[in-house]
Amino acid sequence: MIETLGFYFFTICSLGMFLISVFSKNTLYSMTALAGGMIFISGFFFLLSAEFLGVVQIIVYVGAVLVLYAFSMMFFDASKPVKEQKNNKLVYTLGVASSLLAVIIVLIPISYKTPIVPQYEIVSNLSNVKTVGMILFTKYLIVFELAAVMLLVAMICGILLVHKDMDKNVSKESL
């Protein structure tokens, strides 16, 4: 029952955050909502007892959104005054509608009691992190190493591009 309520909570919150991200006219609000949506998506992994994947979701995707946030801050015009538009009727209507939808979504599965039968045998003596580590370093070792090499090449290319731009700026300033 707790898992079902958690699933519906994370579903509603992540959809809400992604809708805010899509429909927001302010770039910073959109990026903040996108990061929040990714955090709520990681909640699904924690509900499934996949703690490693949940933490990786937070580190990788929320980190990527925060880098995007930093880039959008560079293009943000801070000299322009920001007007906050408050449309209380729309916010109130959407709040009531989403609350009613959440109540309906929670109450429908409670009325239908169907047993959930696992398709595979559940192994309880291994932890999720240990299983992922064993699979990564046995079955998917080549793919894992290839991904590491690709990330290393991308990092070296980024450093070289920045270094070339720094050399151009230094030569322009010296003239």
Phi/psi of residue 121, nearest 5 degrees: -70, 135
- Which amino acid type is present at position 98? S
Let me know: does 70 contact 32? Beta carbons within 8 Å.
no
In tens, the pLDDT along 114-164 reads 666 766 676 666 677 777 778 878 888 888 788 888 888 888 887 887 776
Give residue 112's pLDDT.
66
Tell me the domain boundaries of the chain: 1-79
Architecture of domain 1-79: Up-down Bundle (1.20)
Tell me which residue has tokens 């079902």. 4
Give residue 87's pLDDT.
62
**Other CB atoms within 10 Å distance of the CB of residue 146:** 11
Residue 131, SS3?
A: helix
Report how far Cα 174 is from the mean position of its chain's Cα atoms. 44
pLDDT under 70: residue ranges of the chain: 76-80, 82-87, 109-116, 118-120, 122-126, 164-175
Alpha-carbon distance of 138 to 26, in angstroms, equals 46
Give residue 149's pLDDT.
87
- Residues whose CB is less than 8 angstroms from the CB of residue 54 and which lie 6 or more positions away in sequence, other chains included: 42, 43, 44, 45, 46
Alpha-carbon distance of 62 to 30, in angstroms, equals 13
Alpha-carbon distance of 75 to 77, in angstroms, equals 6
Give residue 79's pLDDT.
67
